[in-house]
Structure 1
Amino acid sequence: MQRSSVRALAGAAILCLGLGAFSAIPASAEPRQTEKTPTATGTGGAVSSVDPEASAAGIEVLRKGGNAVDAAVATAAALGVTEPYSAGIGGGGYFMYYDAATGKVNTIDGRETAPASTPHDAFIDPSTGEPYNFTPELVTSGAAVGVPGTVATWQRALDNWGSQSLKQVLRPATQVASRGFVVDETFREQTLDNKERFEAFASTSDLFLPDGDAPQVGAIFKNPELADTYRLLAKEGPKAFYQGDLAAEISQTVQAPPKVEDTKLPVPAGFVSTDDLANYEVAEQKPTSVDYRGLDVFGMAPSSSGGTTMGESLNILGNYDLSSMEPADALHHYFEATALAYADRGKYVGDPAFVDVPTKTLTSKLFGDDRACALNPEQAATKPVAPGDIENFDGQCPAATTEPAVEQDTENMSTTHLSVVDRWGNVVSYTLTIEQTGGSGMVVPGRGFLLNNELTDFSTVYDPEDPNRIEPGKRPRSSMAPTIVLRDGEPVLAIGSPGGSTIITTVLQTLLNRYDLGMDISQAIAAPRASQRNTAAVTAEPEFITQYGSALEAFGHKLTPAGDSFTPQAEIGAVEAVEINADGTLTAAAEPVRRGGGSAMVVAPAK
Structure 2
Amino acid sequence: MRTLISFSWQPLALALAGVAAVPAHAQEAAIYSGMDRTHPVWAENGMVSAQERVAAEIGRDILEQGGNAVDAGVAVAFALAVTLPRAGNLGGGGFMLVHDAETGETHAFDYREMAPAAATRDMFLDAEGNADSDVSRFSGAASGVPGTVAGMKLVLDEYGSMEWADVIAPAIRLAEEGITVTPDLADSLESLKDRLTRYPSAAAIFYKEDGALYRPGDTLVQADLAETLKKIAEQGPEGFYSGEVAQAIADSVTAAGGFITVEDMANYQAVQREPIRGDYRGYEIVSMPPPSSGGIHLIQILNALEAYPIGALGANSAETIHLMAEAMKLAYADRSEYLGDTDFVDVPMETLTSKDYAEDMRDKISATYAASAEQIGPADLTPYESNETTHFSIIDKDGNAVSNTYTINFSYGSGLVADGTGVLMNNEMDDFSAKPGVPNAYGLIGGDANAVEPGKRPLSSMTPTIVNKDGEVWLVTGSPGGARIITTVLQVIMNMIDHGMNVAEASAAPRIHHQWLPDELRIEDGISIDTQRALQAKGHTVSLQEVMGSTQSVMRDPESSFLLGASDPRRAGAATVGY
TM-score (norm 1): 0.85
Measure the CA separation in 2 of the matches of 1:179 and 1:588: 30
Paired residue secondary structure (1:301): coil
Match of 2:566 among 589, 595, 598: 589
2:219 equivalent in structure 1: 220
1:57 is aligned to 58
Q: Deviations over 1:78-111 (max 9, x none)?
A: 1111111112000000010110011011011100
What amino acid is aligned across from residue 37 of structure 1 in structure 2? G
The offset of 1:551, in angstroms, is 2.8
Residue equivalent to 2:131: 131
Pick from 33, 36, 48: which aligns with 1:36? 33
Cα deviation for residue 138 of structure 1 reads 3.2
For residue 555 of structure 1, what is the aligned residue in structure 2? 538
Corresponding residue of 1:116? 117
Post-superposition CA distance 1:309-357 (Å, at most 9, x none): 1110011011111001142211111111111111111111100011110
Q: What CA deviation, in whole Å up to 9, does each residue of 1:45-96 have, x standing for no partner?
A: 0000011101001011101100000000111111111111112000000010
Correspondence for 2:501: 519
Please give the alpha-carbon distance, in whole angstroms, between the structure 2 residues aligned to 1:426 and 1:124.
Answer: 46
Question: In the TM superposition, what is the alpha-carbon distance from 1:13 to its structure 2 partner?
Answer: 5.9
Q: Are residues 1:534 and 2:516 paired?
A: yes
- Asked whether the equivalents of residues 545 and 559 of structure 1 are also in contact (C-alpha less than 8 Å), the reply is no
2:23 is matched with none
The answer on 1:491 being equivalent to 2:479 is no
Superposed counterparts of 1:174-185, under 5 Å: 174-185=172-183
Give the root-mean-square deviation of aligned CA atoms.
Answer: 1.9
Instruction: Give the secondary-structure state (helix, strand or coil) at the position aligned to 1:170.
Output: helix
Of residues 345, 354, 358, the one that matches 1:355 is: 345
TM-fit CA distance, 1:547: 7.3
Alpha-carbon distance between aligned partners in 2 of 1:546 and 1:166, rounded to the nearest angstrom:
53
Counterpart-to-counterpart distance in 2, 1:110 and 1:546: 43
Indicate how the Cα distance of structure 1 residues 137 and 539 shifts in structure 2: closer, same or farther if over 3 A, else same: farther
CA deviation profile, 1:131-163 (whole Å, cap 9, x unmatched): 21x2x5531111110000000010000010000
Letter in 1 for 2:345: V
Distance 2:60 2:4 in 1: 8
Is residue 11–residue 43 contact of structure 1 (8 Å, CA) maintained in 2? no
CA contact (8 A) 2:53 2:573 kept: no
Preserved CA contact (<8 Å) 1:11 1:44: no
1:276 matched residue in structure 2: 264
Aligned partners of 2:195 and 2:504: how far apart in 1? 36
Identity across aligned pairs (percent)? 39
Please, which of 563, 575, 598 is the counterpart of residue 574 of structure 2? Answer: 598
Q: Which residue of 2 aligns with 1:155?
A: 153
Do the aligned partners of residues 68 and 497 (structure 1) sit closer, same or farther apart at CA in structure 2, a change above 3 Å counting? same
Q: Which has the higher helix share?
A: 2
Residue 314 (structure 1) aligned to one of 295, 302, 318: 302
- What amino acid sits opposite 1:297 in the alignment? I
1:368 and 2:358 aligned? yes
CA-to-aligned-CA distance 1:245-284 (integer Å, 9 cap, x gap): 1101111111112xxxxxxxxxxx1111111111111121
In structure 2, how many angstroms separate the alpha carbons of the residues matched to 1:541 and 1:497?
Answer: 16
1:186-226, CA deviations, whole angstroms, 9 ceiling, x for partnerless residues? 21222122211211111100111222233112222221221
Aligned residue runs from structure 1 range 98-109, under 5 A: 98-109=99-110
Task: State which drifts further: 478-487 or 338-347.
Answer: 338-347
Gaps of 5+ in 1: 1-9, 15-33, 258-268, 393-410, 563-569
CA-CA distance at 1:456 after TM superposition: 0.3
Matches of 2:394 and 2:562, distance apart in 1:
13
CA distance in 1, matches of 2:247, 2:529: 53
- Where 1:44 maps in the other structure, the secondary structure is coil
Equivalent-residue separation in structure 1 for 2:125 and 2:191 (angstroms): 26
Say if 1:45 and 1:602, in contact at 8 Å, map to a contact too.
yes
Is residue 480–residue 549 contact of structure 2 (8 Å, CA) maintained in 1? yes
CA contact (8 A) 2:32 2:577 kept: no
Contact 1:41–1:586 (CA under 8 A) maintained in structure 2 = yes
CA contact (8 A) 2:124 2:135 kept: no
Aligned counterpart, 2:78? 77
Structure 1 position 455 matched with structure 2 position 445: no
1:554 Cα shift? 2.3
Secondary structure of residue in 2 paired with 1:544? coil
Of residues 460, 479, 482, the one that matches 2:464 is 482
Give 1:178-327 correspondences, 5 Å limit.
Answer: 178-210=176-208, 211-257=210-256, 269-326=257-314, 327=317
Q: Is the 8 A contact 1:97 1:105 kept in 2?
A: yes
Q: Which residue pairs with 2:398 in the alignment?
A: 424
Q: Is 1:297–1:485's contact at 8 Å kept on the other side of the alignment?
A: yes
Indicate which of 437, 455, 479 corresponds to 1:473.
Answer: 455
CA distance in 2, matches of 1:435, 1:197: 14
1:509 and 1:476 map into 2 onto residues whose CA distance is 25
The one of 323, 336, 347 aligned to 1:333? 323
- Number of equivalences: 535
In structure 2, what residue type is equivalent to 1:291?
D
- Structure 2: distance between partners of 1:213 and 1:550: 48
Residues 395 and 402, structure 2, Cα contact 8 Å, conserved in 1: yes
1:174 counterpart letter in structure 2 = I
- Partner amino acid for 2:293? S
Cα 1:376–1:555, aligned 2, differ >3 Å: closer, same or farther? same
Q: Distance in 2 between matches of 1:516 and 1:214?
A: 47
Q: Tell me how far 1:517 sits from its aligned partner.
A: 1.7
Distance 1:85 1:545, change over 3 A: farther
Cα separation, 2, equivalents of 1:426 and 1:495: 14
* Separation of aligned partners in 1, 2:195 and 2:47: 37
**1:413 is paired with a residue of what secondary structure?**
coil
* Compared CA separation, residues 544 and 192, structure 1 to 2 (3 A): farther
Of 367, 375, 380, 1:389 maps to 380
Judge which range, 583-592 or 190-199, deviates more. 190-199
Letter of the aligned partner of 1:560 in structure 2?
S
**How far did residue 129 of structure 1 move?**
5.0
TM-score, with normalisation over the residues of structure 2? Answer: 0.89
Q: 1:482 to 1:255 in 2, by over 3 A?
A: same
Name the counterpart of 1:401: none
Runs of 4+ in 1 over 4 A off after TM superposition: 462-465
Contact residue 545 and residue 561 of structure 1 kept, 8 A: no
The Cα of 1:11 is off from its aligned counterpart by 6.0
Q: What CA distance in whole angstroms lies between the structure 1 residues aligned with 2:319 and 2:65?
A: 48
What is the deviation of 1:174? 1.6
In the alignment, the residues of structure 2 paired with residue 64 and residue 188 of structure 1 have an alpha-carbon distance, to the nearest angstrom, of 32
Q: In the aligned structure 1, how far is the partner of 2:511 from the partner of 2:225? A: 36
Quote the Cα distance in structure 1 between the aligned partners of 2:422 and 2:530: 44
- Contact map agreement 2:99 2:106 (CA 8 A) in 1: yes
* Deviation of 1:301 (Å): 0.3
Shifted more, 459-468 versus 293-302: the winner is 459-468
Deviations 1:515-555 (A, max 9, x none): 11221110110011121111311222233365742232222
1:337 counterpart letter in structure 2? A
